[in-house]
Amino acid sequence: MKTSNFRDWTLDGLDDAFGLQQVREHAVLTRWLAREHVVSPFEHEYLIGLQKTLVLGVDSWNEVELENKFISPLIVFVDFDNEQFAYFLERDLQATIGEHHLIGKVDGMIAAGFRNPRLPYFCLNEYKRHLDPTGNPAAQALVAMLAAQELNQHKHPLYGSYIVGRNWYFMVLAGNQYCISQNYSATKDELFDIFRILHGLKQIIIDQIRQDR
């Protein structure tokens, strides 16, 4: 058995070790990114306020500041938390896949559970720089999704995101295929797309929980 931390992996390493394949397009990602949400005047005002804070600070913030001043306020505003699933921060995640035991701490996850995460649906990693000394953001998001997929017994696709400063990338893992979106800049009007996509994720999770009953 080989034990490794999430931060030890690269995309090439994950592809080779687990037979993964990156594809340019995937129907699951396309459907997710196309989900609609009409922004209310209150939501619009709140998002513009967050965006102003991001524009002023993003080039000087460290990772903790990025998380606390922008990412979490945005995700919390979507209102994921309820008695069935919630948004959890800095929680441990581990799974055994074949000869590999994967362990790590996920910056953010949306998972079934009230006080503690049980089955993750969405894994998020965030960075100030594209290549961090402790690993690659895309690979760390993907390996967390891979562990979550195993814990969910491959019942449904896994969703994820990694954030590099102002830029958000959305991901899906379905079977052995994964797909990464183009970047969405939170300092531009694409912030409203990010908010819409997160709302779409909330409905996807609600639908999956209903199917699993």
At 22 the three-state DSSP class reads strand
Model pTM? 0.95
> What's the rounded Cα separation, in Å, for the pair 163 and 183?
9
Q: What is the per-residue pLDDT across 45-67, written as a single tens digit (0 to 9) for each?
A: 999 999 999 999 999 999 999 99
Residue ranges and CATH numbers for the domains of the chain are 2-212 (3.90.1570)
Between strands 85-97 and 167-174, the pairing is unpaired
Residue with tokens 């594209």: 130
> What's the rounded Cα separation, in Å, for the pair 192 and 198?
10
Q: What is the per-residue pLDDT across 113-170, written as a single tens digit (0 to 9) for each?
A: 988 999 999 999 988 754 455 568 999 999 999 999 999 999 899 999 999 999 999 9
